[in-house]
Structures are given as structure tokens and as C-alpha cells.
Amino acid sequence: MKFLARRLLYSLAILLAISFLSFLMLQWAPGDYFEAMRMNPRVSAQTVEVLRAQYGANRTFAARYVTWMGSLARGDLGVSFAYGTPVGPLLWPRARNTLLLTGSSMILSWLMAVPLGIWSAARKGALLDRFFSFATSTVLAVPDLLLFLLLLLLAVRTGWFPAGGMVSSNFDDLSFWQKAGDVAIHFALPALGLAVVALPLLLRHVRAAMIEVLNAPFIRAARGHGIPPWRLLWRYALPAASNPLISLLGLSIATMLSASLIVEVILSWPGLGPLMIQAILARDVNVVIGVVMLSSVFLLAGNLIADVLLFASDPRIRVE
Amino acid sequence: MKGSRTFWTVLILLAAFHAVVLFAGFFAPYGYSRQNRDFPYAPPTRIHFVDSHGHFHLRPFIYGWQASSDSYGAYAVDSSETYPIHFFVGGARYEIAGLIPSRTHLFGVTAPGQISLMGTDGYGRDQFSRFLYGGQISLAAGLIAAALSLLLGLAIGSLAGFYGGWLDNALMRGGDLFMALPWLYLLFAVRAAMPLHIAQGQVFLLIVVVIGLIGWARPARLIRGVVLSAKERNFVIAARGFGASDFYLLRRHILPHTYSILLTQMTLLIPQYILAEVTLSFLGLGIGQPLPSWGSLLSGLQQYYVLASYWWMFLPAIILIPVFLGYSRIADALQERFAVVPL
Amino acid sequence: MRLSRLSGSIVAACLLFAAIAAATLAQSAGKATPNELGTPGGTLTIALRSEPKTLNPAFAADQSSQDVIYCMNADLIHINRESQRTEPDLAESWTVSRDGKIYTLHLRRGVRFSDGQPFTADDVIFSFRVYLDAKIDSPQRDLLIIGGKPISVEKIDAYTVRFILPQRYAAAERLFDGFPILPRHLLQNAYAESSFSKAWAVSASPSQFAGLGPFRLAEYVPGQRIVLERNPYYWKRDAAGKQLPYLDKLVFLFVPSEDAQVIRFLSGDTDVLDRFSSENYSVLKARESAKRFHMDDLGASLEYNFLFFNLNDLAGKNLPQIAAKQAWFADVRFRQAVSSAIDRAAIVRLVYQGRASALAAQVTPGNKLWLDPAIKPASHSVQHARDLLKAAGFSWRADGSLVDRGGGPVEFSILTSSSNAQRAKIATLIQSDLSALGMNVHVVTLDFSAMADRLLNSFDYEAAIMGLADGDADPNTEMNIWPSSGGMHIWHLNEQRAVTPWEAELDRLMNQQLVTLDYPKRRQLYDRVQQIVANQLPIICLASPDVLVAAKDRVGNFSPAILEPYVLWNVDRLYVR
């Protein structure tokens, strides 16, 4: 319990540091939201100055950071320059959609990666292992963006999947089960895409970790004792190989979140991605920081879970 | 050993490929920035031995293109013009390995003929030449960035794992912090703060260096995990009991355990950093025109019209897949060798 | 012809309307607006590149917000997007005083907001008070400040309002387009409590909205869509007396990339498509008949892309390298040489697949009323460019590189925004063109904000490519650009006094056209402006892309225009076959 409390405290401190450094970094990048507005010939320099003052964007770094901390305490995360509304309400519904997508594709990819990784480690060098190696390298050699576009092309050409969005336009008229089905079919393509993007990395690590363990003397001894290969793999080797894999679990959340940024834009999934990309390009500072903070929370939560799992599974760590 | 022959074959093939990239100027028929505005998006040139009259020629030749006047980017083969392919021809100036100037190219045809083995892009530039030149930049960028990430990751990860305690905590929390920060803005800032006159290639390499420096957190975490479990092994504890110094323990007994992770990571990171440029150029941080890079060649594919209309723009991706595959083969083989740690 | 009649005389709106119709017919060579009688009902779906940021007309600055607001609101005098001329809307007629300063508008009676409340002069007074309020500071406010003084609005009676301009103003009528009338009964409390800036956020409940446009808000789903439903109180009727709009529902989907929009259109999710590249046009064209839609190339838009050099006053900026190069940039022969070396035909062909027009000056062929056809784009001639450079004292080294009088190599960078692929492509072509003159040019792409910072604040750039698209065809939209005091006098910002005689002449011409009400006279003035731009090249105009649109065959009355919103401007008459 003490371990958990300490980790939570750490996480909070990190969140604080992230918010400060993010602010600093946004400060460094030249140009701001209002500068870009001035490029519109219909908007005069005075108007821009007034707006800047209105949003307090002309104040010192420290003053803005303090104001932002205040808004964090209120839970609204500051005001978006572009939307003119608090950032919090902009984020929540989109965060839900992003979590739905990344969460389920993460489960999907782990469900595929662990058995496949063990399988190919057990048959190292065999045709199957080579095939997986080839497939993962192929996927790794294809940029995510291209992969999603190819998926999209598939959806359009075959008509099997809707070409984007989260629901059909007649969604409101559907019954509950039809609604669930509608979301599911819209969900299939982005979730599959994300899982495919995450899979190679996971698969390789599972395989590498398993191979390492399979060479260890205790496995050789166990094999010598005539323990059946299936049981050997799952009961003896997998737990031993789980340490780096659990660390990887926390890390894979970061991969998922950044990949989902792109998949959401391409397949118009109504998550944080499109909001973030636009805010980045428009320098809508509070929205960017809001999204960064939110994804940091996801990330830290993932790492926390991983650490707790490690703590629970590896007595050596527990001793410390 | 059975695997060893494959290993050497792959290694030699990869070495040959990299040599071609290194001497891009010689193998590429054209300069990377040469535009032929009459032939944007021309498909790959077909090489013939038999002409339209059925005569066989020992020297291969190509036909000219006839651009269609009414529809953009549509071409017909003009079999009335033939251009024989010559070898070791003079052409655009380049530098061998960036040092010795030369004008000799492996092959070429006389103008106005144009030989484009991989077609041309939207400016009528030869994709084959751009692919070769682009490799120089991308490989350098990928290697530099991956090496930086891994070196930093190795140092920080092994320190954290080996010493544990508050140092471990501080370093790993720092890593979490690093992974969560909006680095894109730093890149924007770096790009925008640079004077306009720095050559595009240098700007790009600098951005890649920054990315490499940022990317230590992930390998550090993995390496820490390995070190953490390695240092509890009996032989390490025993060595410690014999009075081995920390440095000796790390170098002799613990770091060898990280080699497999390092190599796996290296082969993963190089392609990843090469491909990272696709996302970078999506946000306008890719390499500047007219310089080519593999990332920028691939990022051209992210436009729907390219995807739908010009299949040859896929060729760079199709060539790169086996190259990256070769990397992982090498890594697997090396991993196998290193995995057996001397006790 | 329209403006000449106006000066000093009282014109009945209905007469005007006939004149406009005649002029339109004459101009667009028989391509009249399809005005079929539609069938009521049905849904039209269109994609927006980004979510609307607000539905408050006083704050909307982005395209998506403006598009949605356009469908929910109406203005007093409207610019017909097809004829590019004004026509009565909520004001059914108006009179102009002899000195051209007082506009008396007679409002249409019996018009109701979309919540059923009647529309009166109070709403007009309220709306303009909001738009003029310095505290609210709506982006449109500057349009209501003429010669440094704001216009004033008076209520005469419940259906008559008077607008008093501080001085004669050539485009006074066009002003009214873009100032939607707000419902006083819904917004006056928010205004009084100074919470107006928070009113009508996208997420506000539909019951808080009311407008005079053909549609009203039905539903907003964050990140996904905005649904509008037909306004049952809309006042317009079709020729058969049937109430408009025909459509029951208008759905805006948020699809954040162009390619994704093209694909959604292809897969049938959306009914109309606009703002896509010529490359995608070609891809779509190939599937036109199979997928039952049709494409339209409307010809040149009002967007002009141009190259310009940094002629800003760099005193106190500590940019000695750029200041030294300004000696070249300031020499008109240098600029002319650059212009002459640029292969505009190649830009049109390679960047826009031929779906663009080469430009001589800022007015594009799409602007039928104001283009001076006598000015032709500079012909591409490297020899001519070399002669000009030679005359200006430049010479060439043995290796072909260009050097200036002092022997310094001619090397500079061209800045362009990474968010516009076409402009980046133009820069690459120009780089290659100028290398034929021996100039060593670097292309630098920066993200839009960073570029804006350099162009507007630090002046740390040498040359840049950008594009401007006027919201309207009238020269008044250019008042920010050509006069030396203009906020977008981009090549030399904050110029206190015109430094060159031709800039002084631009100042004089632009200020004169502003108060000239007679169209032929005003046109003469603006023709001269174009001549100066084409000869002196403060900006080197390059090309104007065509407006490209697509619509499913089942969309009736589809009649896109080159003024925004391209496909939705006649949304009240669109119907589903």
C-alpha cells in the first residue's frame, strides 16, 4: 500500500513537471494563435491586440502559468483561443472515444502478440517464425499513415467497412442493439489498424524475451525432466519472461496514443487526435496542454499498473 | 551451421545495397534536383532489347515518351524515338563519397530521352536517382538518431537498474516525463530558430539528432528491466562477493545481457527513425526541397491521389521492406550469438 | 453600371434586381442559376475540414464556423455569389442620400426568427451595436470603421433603419453581407451582463439559438457532426409559392483531412464536396459516372498566390545580412528579372494540373467585374531576365553563378508555409527556375504560425510565397494591402509614408476608389492599381487555382460559385431529387 501511495505521489509530481515544461516549450516555439490570425487581411492589428489582451496571452509566462494552475484546480483547464470555451468540456467526450479505441486495440494486440510471440519463439528458425519475422518487418517498414490509408482504401473499394466516423448518419433513429452494432462496425477498421501497428513491436519483444528464457539452464533442466513442451512454455518460461513484457505494457500505451492521433485524423474518429493536430498547428496553447496532460495521465496510469504488476509478480523487486 | 550461410548472404546483400547508396552519384543517372517538366508522374521506363520491327539489339534501349495533350500525367510510348543505353557516360557533376568530383555515371541515355527506372515524381524528377541520394541522408539520420538514443538509454537504464533506490526512481520518473512531453513543439522551435541559410540537409540532421536525444527513455526502461533481473543472478552476486568493482560487474556480467535488447532496439529504431520523417513531414518538419530522403519519398504516398493513380510511387516502399527485413535478420543472428552469456 | 445608377438617385430595389439579373445573364454567357422547383424533404450531408469553433457570428473567424453560420443566419443586403452583385434580403429596398453618406433601409415585414419571434428594426439596431462594440471587438468590426470613424445606426420606425457613414464609401452596400442579424430577445441579456462572448458557443443548447437563415441548429455531437434542421419560419418562397428551404436536414460531418473527405464522398457518405486539390479532381473525375456524381471546374477563384521580397525597414532589427540584400530586392529590375524567369505555365501545369490561371496582378480571371484584361502575365524568358539583371549591374562568374555589383553571390531563401502543399511545390519550381539565372535559392518551409511571426514581427526573412483570397470581389477588400498604411502591406509593413512614387500613387488610387461611386471611373482607378502591381511588382503574382467542386447527381439546384461558401451559397434552394 505504501508502495502504491508513493508511486501516486511521484506521478503527481511528474504531471506537475510535465505541465510546466510543456508551457515552457510552447513558449519557445515562435508565433502564436493570434499571429496567425493577423495573416487574415480582414482582421486588423488592433483587433488582434485586443483579443490577445482578452485571453491574457500578452502576459508574462509566470502569470499565465499561475492562471492555468488555477483553472486546473477548477477542472476546466483554461480557455481555448479557437473555441472561446473552456478546454475541459472540449476534452472529455473526445477522451472517452480515444480511450475506447486505444483500450480495445491494446487488448486486441496483446491477445495476438503473446501467443504468436511464444509460438514463434518455440519454433525459432522454423518457417512459421520466419513468416512472422517477415510480416512484422513488413509492417514496420510501412509508415503508419500509409497503412491507415491502405486500410481506408480497402474499406472504400470493398464497401465492407464504413469509410470513417464513429456512427452512421441515421444513428439517432436506431434501436439500442442497432446502435451498438453501428458503433462496432465503425470501430472495426481503426481498432484493427491500431492493433496491427502495435503488434510487430510487441511480438518481437515477446519473442526475444521468450528466447532468452528458453535458453536459460532451468528450462533446459525442466525439459530434461520431461515436462511437456506446452506446459513448459506457459507455466515455466512465460512467467520468467514476463518482467520486460510488463514494462513494455506501460510503454505500449504511449505508442498507442501517438498512433491513434493519426488514425483518428485519417478515419475521422471523433477522439483527441483531430483536436490535437488542429490545436498544434493553430497554437491553441491550452488545448494542446490539455491533451498533453490527459495523455500523460493515461501514460502514467499505464506505467503505474505495470509497476504494480511487476511488484506483484517478481518477488525480487518486492524485497527492496 | 545452417543459419550462417543465410546470415552471410544477407550481410553481403545489405552491404552491396549500402555501397550503392554510398556511391549514389555514380549509380544514379541524374541529379536529385533535376526537373524534367515535360514528364511529371511518368511511369517507369521499360528497357527493350527487341525493337518494333522485331530486330534484336545487343545494346538495350528505351523508347521516348509522348505526353498526352488533353489529360495530365498520361503518356504514350513513342516507338519512333529510340535511345540506346550507354554505360560509364558523362553527365551531371557529383562527388564520390562527398570528396572526389566526378562526372561519370554507370548508365544513361542521350537527351531528350530520359531513363527513369522507378518513374518520375510530380516535378518530372527521376525517382531512382532520388531514392539513391535519399538513402544517404536517411541512413545517416537513422544511424545517428538510433545510436544516440541507445547510448543514452544504455547509460541511464543501466545506472538506474544497477544502483536502484532513489537514483532509479529519479531516472525512471525522468523517463516518464520525457515520454509525455510535447516534443513536437521543441522541434518546431528548433526548426524555426535556425537561420534560414543553413543547408536543408543540416537542418534535417539536426532535427534528427534532437529526436535521437529525446528517444532514450524507452530503451532505458527496457535496459533497466534487464539489468534489474541480471544483477540478482547468482553469478553476479558471487562476483560481488569476490570483491568485484561496480564497473567490472557492469561491464563483465551485466551489460552483456543487454546486448540482445540493444540490437533488437537498434534494428527497430533505425527503420523507425527513418519512417518518423513521414510524420514529421505531415507536420512540415520533414526535409526541405529539393533534397530527397526515404522518409520524404514515402510521405508522398500519403496523398490519396498518389495512392490511387501512380503505382510506381510505391517502389521506394517496396524496396525498403526487404532492406529493413535484412536488418532484422542480422539482428536475430547476432542476438543468437550474444544470447549465450559466458558464465 | 450598377453603381453609376446609384449615385445621387433613388433606386427601387425591384428594378435593381432586374438589372442584376440581366447583367448576370449577359456575363455568364447563358449559364443561368438553375432555379428548378424542388421537392421538399430529404437530407444533405457535407464534410467540414474542422469543427466550427463558435456559432456566434460576431466571433467566427474560421471557415467552418462561417459556413455553418451562413446557413443559420441572414443579412440585410446580400451579395449574390453567382452574379457577384448585391441583392435585397432582409432589407427589401433602400435609398441613398445625395451625398452618398446616408443609407435608409426598409425592412421586410412579417419575417420571423427561427423560434417564431418577429424580426424588427430593434434587432438590427441591437446587432450593429454588438458588431460596433469595441469591448466585444468582433473581427468584422474593422469593416464598419470607415476613414477612422465608425458608422452609426438609427432606428426610424419598427421597419426602417438609417445607416450614416462618416464619408462616401464605394462598397457600402456590400458591407451588409457578413453582418447577420442577431435576435435581440435572446441575446440582449447576455450582452447587458457582458457575457456575450460566451453566448452561442457550439456546445450551447439548440433552444438558445434563433436566426433568420434557412436552417436552425438541431444537434451538435462533439468531434462528429452538426445537424441543422429546416427553419419553419423562413420567409423565402420559391416561384410556385412553396416555402423554402426544400431540405429537412443539413448535416455537417467533421472530416479532418482532404483525402479523407474525398474518400467519404466517394463512399457516398457526403453529397457535395469542395476545397480539394486538382490531383484529387482527376482521381474523382475517373469515377464520375460509375458513382453517379458530377464534377465542376468553376474557373479561377479569387485566391492569388504570389512571391514577394522583404522590403521592410530593418533599422533597429539587427539583420545586417538581409538589409544588405535589400539593395537587390529594392531594384525593380531585379524583381522584374525574377518575374520573367518564373515559368508560370509550368506552375499551372505541374502544381495545378492545368486547373489554374497564370496571373499578372492580384485580380484573378474569376473576378469578372474588376479584372483588367489588358494586363498579361509576364512571359517566361530567361534571356529577358538576364538582360534586366545585366542592366542592373549584376554579372556572372565562370561557373554560371550570379554576382552583384560588389561581387557578392546572389543567394536568398524563399519562405513558405508547410500547411499548403501547392505553395511549397511552387517554391520548388521557382527555385529551379531561378537557378537558371545563377541565383542560389533555398526553400524554407515553416509551420504557419512561425512563418507569420517572421513576416509580421521579426522581419527575419528574405522572400516568401503566400496566397490571399478575398472574401469578396470588390477592391475595398484590398484596402488592407495596397495603401502603405495597410495592415497587410506585407512587403513593407508599418510604412509611415510611401517611399517610392509608385507606392504614393497606389495610396492615392486606393483612397480615391474608396469614395468614387461611379463604376467606370472606379474601375479606371483600380485598373491603374493593377498596372502598377504588374509593372513595379511589389508582389510577384503567380497563379490562381480554380474552384473545384463535386456533387452527387441527386442534388438538385446545385449551382456552385467562386465566392464562399462555394457550394452552400444557395442552400435554401438545394433539394434532393
Which residue is listed with cell 452618398? Answer: C100
pLDDT in tens, A293-315: 888 888 788 878 887 887 777 76
Res C532 pLDDT > 50: yes
> Which chains are adjacent to chain B, needing at least 3 Cβ pairs under 8 Å?
A, C
Does residue C544 sit in helix, strand or coil?
strand
Class of domain C8-271+554-576: alpha beta
* Omega prior to B112 cis, within 30 of 0: yes
Give the CATH number, domain containing residue A313: 1.10.3720.10
The DSSP bridge pattern shows strands C293-300 and C539-552 to be: antiparallel
Residues of C in contact with B124 (CB under 8 A): 350
Measured distance CA(A122)–CA(C571) in Å, rounded: 64
Alpha-helix residue ranges (DSSP H) falling in C330-365: 332-341, 344-346
Nearest CA of chain B to the CA of A175: how many Å?
35
Nine-digit cell at C211?
A: 436566426
CB contact under 8 A, B307 and A14: no
Residue B182, φ and ψ in degrees, nearest 5: -80, 80
CB C514 within 8 A of CB C530: no
Residues 6+ apart with CB under 8 A from C438: C396, C397, C400, C401, C402, C410
Asked if C458 is an interface residue toward chain B (Cβ–Cβ < 8 A), one would say no
Question: What is the predicted pLDDT for the residue at C120?
Answer: 95
Poorest-pLDDT segment among A106-110, C20-24, C103-107: C20-24
Q: Which of B4, B296, B317 is nearest to B137 (CA)?
A: B296
Q: pLDDT grade, residue B170 (50/70/90)?
A: confident
Nearest CA of chain B to the CA of A303: how many Å?
8
My answer on whether A63 and A100 are in the same domain is no
Superfamily of domain C303-546: Dipeptide-binding Protein; Domain 3 (3.10.105.10)
Does residue C444 sit in helix, strand or coil?
strand
Question: What is the predicted pLDDT for the residue at A315?
Answer: 67
Nine-digit cell at A181?
A: 452494432
- The residue of chain C with its CA nearest to that of B195 is C460
Q: Which of C243, C271, C316, C361 is nearest to C43 (CA)?
A: C271
CB contact under 8 A, B309 and C283: yes
Residues 6+ apart with CB under 8 A from B233: none
Asked if A89 is an interface residue toward chain C (Cβ–Cβ < 8 A), one would say yes
* Boundaries of domain holding A130: 96-319
Classify residue B1 as exposed, middle or buried by CB count within 10 Å of its CB (0-12, 13-18, 19+): exposed
pLDDT in tens, C11-66: 333 333 333 333 333 344 334 456 788 899 899 999 998 889 889 999 888 889 99
Res C448 pLDDT > 60: yes
Question: What is the predicted pLDDT for the residue at B2?
Answer: 47
pLDDT in tens, A241-284: 777 788 777 777 777 877 787 788 778 788 888 888 888 878 88
The residue type at C237: R
| Full 3-state SS string of C310-332 | CCCCCCCCCCHHHHHHHHHHCCH
CA distances from C408 to A242, C206, C371, C404 (A): 66, 65, 40, 5
Across the B:C interface, residue pairs with CB atoms under 8 Å apart total 89
Nearest CA of chain B to the CA of A292: how many Å?
7
Asked if A45 is an interface residue toward chain C (Cβ–Cβ < 8 A), one would say yes
Domain boundary among A19, A39, A74: A74
Question: What is the predicted pLDDT for the residue at A256?
Answer: 81
Nearest Cβ partner for C263 among A30, A32, A156: A156
For range C532-555, the mean pLDDT: 95
Measured distance CA(C321)–CA(C313) in Å, rounded: 13
* Omega prior to A93 cis, within 30 of 0: no
* Mutant choice from B185, B263, B302, B343 vs A, greatest count of A C-beta within 10 A: B185
The residue type at B265: Q
HSE (side-chain half, CA atoms, 13 Å) at C467? 23
CB contact under 8 A, B189 and A29: yes
**Beta bridge mates, C155:** C161
CB contact under 8 A, A145 and B169: no
Q: Which of C257, C203, C253, C62 is nearest to A91 (CA)?
A: C203
Measured distance CA(C259)–CA(C276) in Å, rounded: 8
CB contact under 8 A, A145 and B302: yes
Question: What is the predicted pLDDT for the residue at C220?
Answer: 92
Q: pLDDT grade, residue C4 (50/70/90)?
A: very low
Per-domain residue ranges of chain C: 8-271+554-576, 303-546
Residue A84 lies in a domain: no
Residues 6+ apart with CB under 8 A from A151: A189, A192, A193, A267
CB B35 within 8 A of CB B92: no
Nearest CA of chain C to the CA of A78: how many Å?
14
CB contact under 8 A, C350 and B122: yes
For range B272-298, the mean pLDDT: 79
Nine-digit cell at B45?
A: 521506363
pTM: 0.85
Q: pLDDT grade, residue B184 (50/70/90)?
A: low
Asked if C259 is an interface residue toward chain B (Cβ–Cβ < 8 A), one would say yes
Asked if C413 is an interface residue toward chain B (Cβ–Cβ < 8 A), one would say yes
Measured distance CA(B336)–CA(B331) in Å, rounded: 8
My answer on whether A24 and A56 are in the same domain is yes
CB contact under 8 A, C203 and A85: yes
Measured distance CA(C56)–CA(C297) in Å, rounded: 32
Question: What is the predicted pLDDT for the residue at A137?
Answer: 75
Nearest CA of chain B to the CA of C350: how many Å?
7
My answer on whether A105 and A55 are in the same domain is no
Q: Which residues of C294-321 are buried (b: 16+ CB within 10 A; e: fewer)?
A: bebebbbbbbbbbbbbbbbebeeeebee
- The residue of chain C with its CA nearest to that of A268 is C255
Per-domain residue ranges of chain B: 131-338
* Total of domains in chain A: 2
My answer on whether A26 and A156 are in the same domain is no
CB contact under 8 A, B222 and A29: no
pLDDT in tens, B193-238: 777 777 777 888 888 888 888 888 888 888 888 888 777 777 778 8
CB contact under 8 A, C450 and A31: yes
Residues of B in contact with A251 (CB under 8 A): 179, 218, 221-222
Asked if C287 is an interface residue toward chain A (Cβ–Cβ < 8 A), one would say no
My answer on whether A157 and A230 are in the same domain is yes
* Omega prior to B290 cis, within 30 of 0: yes
Measured distance CA(B39)–CA(B114) in Å, rounded: 9
Measured distance CA(A165)–CA(C389) in Å, rounded: 56
Residues 6+ apart with CB under 8 A from A126: none
Question: What is the predicted pLDDT for the residue at C134?
Answer: 85
Q: Which of C8, C4, C24, C71 is nearest to C44 (CA)?
A: C71
My answer on whether A100 and A68 are in the same domain is no
Nearest Cβ partner for C260 among A51, A167, A266: A266
* Omega prior to C565 cis, within 30 of 0: yes
Residues 484-513 of C with CB under 8 A from A: 487-488
CB contact under 8 A, B290 and C443: yes
Cα angle vertex C466, ends C307, C497, to 5°? Answer: 70
Nearest CA of chain A to the CA of C471: how many Å?
9
Residue A124 lies in a domain: yes
Nearest CA of chain A to the CA of B53: how many Å?
41
Question: What is the predicted pLDDT for the residue at C304?
Answer: 95
Residue A87 lies in a domain: no
My answer on whether A64 and A123 are in the same domain is no
Handedness of CA A30, A35, A39, A40 (dihedral sign): positive
Give the rounded percent of residues in chain C with a pLDDT score beyond 70.
94
CB A120 within 8 A of CB A207: yes
Residue A247 lies in a domain: yes
Cα angle vertex C160, ends C159, C163, to 5°? Answer: 145
| Full 3-state SS string of C390-450 | HHCCCEECCCCCEECCCCCECEEEEEEECCCHHHHHHHHHHHHHHHCCCCEEEEEEECHHH
Nearest Cβ partner for A164 among C59, C219, C260: C260
Nine-digit cell at C380?
A: 517566361
Residues of A in contact with B3 (CB under 8 A): 125
- The residue of chain A with its CA nearest to that of B329 is A133
My answer on whether A70 and A143 are in the same domain is no
CB contact under 8 A, B268 and A141: no
Q: From the CB of residue B311, how many other CB atoms can be counted at a distance below 10 Å?
A: 13
Q: Which of A199-208, C67-76, C469-478 has the highest mean pLDDT?
A: C67-76
Residues of C in contact with A146 (CB under 8 A): none
The residue type at B247: F
Q: From the CB of residue C135, how many other CB atoms can be counted at a distance below 10 Å?
A: 10
Q: Is B229 left (phi over 0), alpha (psi -120 to 50) or beta?
A: alpha
CB A57 within 8 A of CB C171: no
Does residue A295 sit in helix, strand or coil?
helix
- The residue of chain C with its CA nearest to that of A267 is C260
Question: What is the predicted pLDDT for the residue at C5?
Answer: 32
Does residue C302 sit in helix, strand or coil?
coil
Number of H helices, E strands in chain A: 14, 0
Give the rounded percent of residues in chain B with a pLDDT score beyond 70.
91
Residue A279 lies in a domain: yes
CB A274 within 8 A of CB C223: yes
Res C306 pLDDT > 90: yes
Question: What is the predicted pLDDT for the residue at C176?
Answer: 92
Residues of C in contact with B305 (CB under 8 A): 277, 279-280, 282-283
Domain boundary among A26, A41, A74: A74
Residues of A in contact with C450 (CB under 8 A): 29-31
Q: pLDDT grade, residue B286 (50/70/90)?
A: confident
Nearest Cβ partner for C444 among B71, B72, B288: B288
Residues of B in contact with A212 (CB under 8 A): 260, 339
For range B12-17, the mean pLDDT: 91
My answer on whether A118 and A58 are in the same domain is no
The residue type at C555: V
Handedness of CA C243, C247, C251, C255 (dihedral sign): negative
Mean pLDDT across chain A: 81
Residues of A in contact with C449 (CB under 8 A): 29-33, 35-36, 281-283
CB contact under 8 A, A84 and C480: no
Asked if C447 is an interface residue toward chain A (Cβ–Cβ < 8 A), one would say yes
- Report the topology of domain B131-338: MetI-like fold (1.10.3720)
CB C539 within 8 A of CB C311: no
Measured distance CA(B307)–CA(C521) in Å, rounded: 52
Nine-digit cell at B68?
A: 498526352
My answer on whether A158 and A251 are in the same domain is yes
CB contact under 8 A, A146 and B298: yes
Residues of B in contact with C450 (CB under 8 A): 188, 191-192
Residues of A in contact with B185 (CB under 8 A): 22, 25-26, 28-29, 280, 288
CA distances from C298 to A10, A249, B100, C365 (A): 60, 54, 54, 11
My answer on whether A266 and A117 are in the same domain is yes
Nine-digit cell at B5?
A: 550461410
User: Which secondary-structure segment (H or E) carries A72?
Assistant: helix A61-74
Domain boundary among A74, A107, A122: A74
CB A231 within 8 A of CB A112: no
Residue A91 lies in a domain: no
